[in-house]
Amino acid sequence: MNARSRICTAFTCASMLAPGWHPALAETTPPKVNPAEFQAKIAKDTSPLPNNGQLQMSYATVVEKILPSVVTIYSSAPIKTPEIDQIPPQLRPFFYRFFGAPEDFGNEGDEEQSPNPRRRGQPQRPQTPPEDEQHQQRGVGSGVIITADGYIMTNNHVIADAKKIEVAVDNGGSTKNYTAEVIGADPLTDVALIKINAIGLKPATLGDSAQLRVGDIVLAAGAPMELSRSVTQGIVSALGRSNEGIVGKGRVRGYEDFIQTDASINPGNSGGPLVDSLGRVIGISTAILSRSGMNAGIGFAIPINMAMNIVEDLLDDGAVQRGFLGVQIADLDSALADRLKMKEQGGAVVMMVGAGSPAEKAGVQLEDVIVAINGQKVDSSSRLRLIVSSTKPGTAIPIELLRNGQPMTVTATLDALPEEALAEVGPGSRGIPRSAPPQQENTSELVTGVTVQNLSKALRERHDVPADVNGVIVTKVDPSSRAAAMGVEEGDVISHVNRKAVATAAEARTLAKGSDKTVLLRVWRKGDTMLLMIGNN
């Protein structure tokens, strides 16, 4: 990705726009809903698009079908503004431009206001806002009605941290505003379900995103730049976009499987529907890739099948239950395939098996290459992660894998994804370093920045290494080294270097130095065993 490009959610934050706006309070207590009854309310059409159809000169019929189901969502949350003393003097004019001068906050202000603050990019101060609505940031997004009694799907980032939410619904040419309550939201997929107290609404018809093909015509509907009931048209540019870093929670990576489209998506489109040429919802617009923050022809939408799986899980308690296999995985790229002596690339290599995990109980081992799971092909580590996370805990799933080049199948019963798994940070993050023991004989630098030592009785006791674990122990890691970035830690026991068992530091160093570019380490760490691929320079 170009360093000047950036991923932007298609959501308008407009604290400086439209003064005096006072949406109703958003409720947060979700009602209990029977999933079967909810499903019965959903309109679906999963028939395939016709092949070799005639060129359509107008999509007016499609637009007339979807627009009554598209809503504009207004949310507000407290503005988090820094203390003026914390802002460097050279940046204060920029701060004043967007948030007003310090004396403006909490005061009515009797100066003449700009006649058109929106076009000039200047803040417009509210006339007499209630005290509890001062310092509110206004956000504008979109949503799509999925049931006639008021269930609406949107993005989590549209309503996240919102103190107040209001939904504007088309009412036969006029607009009617409703108070919204949050049924549930999932930051890890950016899907949210809200509800308004209404009946007789026009729900959208949902399609089948699994049948999408690159080149299919799609239309994006929503409220870009607060221009409600707007529609743009393009095609499906790509499918299965993942690892874009668009969704997540804190340092926890989200689950991505985006539809890429060149249909124009801009701030305010977030949560709005992406529909096919028959007007069926096949995605939820979420983000754009842009240097300027405006549409550049690269937009992303959550597939409707994935979004509906999340929505159904949110209905009962507002939370999502995800399956947990208990492995760390990596793509089988050319470098790893060469180290594992695999002729073909593709699939997910098992780099760590958690102690006591469903994977360990099923017999999954390090260096296994998972090629299919639960009947679905695995072409990358991100695909495996998506399949497992979307499967309910307690489900027994077959795992097709290659072990030493030979195909085999094992069956694992998934656990629920534990909270501590979500709290884990990625490779390269380190805990509090322990003081390194003094340099002794039988000590060697294995790769740049990593010092190993023979595993003596004293070191076993110091690091709680069981008697049946053999190899060399890491006694020092340079925190600025590539090895530290890849996750090597003090106290790790390295049992194999480049798939060969090692018993001494000298033996480990000899094997490592025989590698031109990378070194494959098998590591024991506090009961878990994992593979780490380290650059050798």
Please identify every residue annotated as catalytic.
157, 190, 270
Phi, psi of 376 (to 5 degrees): -115, 135
Whether 178 contacts 32, CB under 8 Å: no
CA of 137: how far to CAs of 14, 21, 105, 186, 272, in Å?
Answer: 7, 11, 13, 22, 21
What is the rounded distance in angstroms from the CA atom of residue 26 to the CA atom of residue 505? 62
Whether 365 contacts 332, CB under 8 Å: no
Cα dihedral sign, 87-91-97-98: negative
What is the rounded distance in angstroms from the CA atom of residue 444 to the CA atom of residue 422? 36
224: left (phi over 0), alpha (psi -120 to 50) or beta: beta
Whether 193 contacts 231, CB under 8 Å: no
What is the rounded distance in angstroms from the CA atom of residue 413 to the CA atom of residue 363? 12
Rg (CA), the chain: 27
The β-bridge partners of 220 are 232, 274
Residue given tokens 């590698």 in the structure block: 515
